[in-house]
Amino acid sequence: MIIYIDMDGVISDFKLACKLQALTQTEMYAPDKYLDFSQNPVMFGAKEAIATLELMGHDLYIASTPPWRQPKAWMDKRLWIDEHFPTLRRKVVLTHRKDLLIGDLLIDDTRYRGQPDFKGEWIHFGKNGLGWEGVLDIIKNKEV
């Protein structure tokens, strides 16, 4: 399966990063503030889940939406992937329209970038407490 995985709030702990850098999520998008994406902690269970999905033979891609008014964030996100998920370093898509992606699954924690209209299946990460363990169970059940 082709699987797109969102970055912030799915493999990168965006909320914890804001807290550690003393920024609200609203401030992070202000032109005079800056969240250093390269310092974001890895989301609990993400490394193990990505490794499992790769071992299962899935074709994984990162699909992330960087803040438009902060071009440095685009580079920081790429460097972060390089450091934490090096097997995905050349498999990064930066987009504000996730509904235009072509694939089987989209794992994302928000719905305002076209996720509900994704042509495959959208797994709403975090909804009702859905974390990486639950996501892996969903994917494994699809293969049975």
C-alpha distances in Å from residue 114, one per residue of 79, 98, 111: 25, 5, 6
The answer to whether residue 32 is catalytic is no
Q: Which of 8, 13, 108, 109 is catalytic?
A: 8
The answer to whether residue 99 is catalytic is no
Instruction: List the alpha helices (DSSP H) in 10-113.
Output: 14-20, 25-28, 46-55, 71-84
Q: How far apart are CA 66 and CA 103, in angstroms?
A: 21
Instruction: List, by residue number, the catalytic residues.
Output: 6, 8
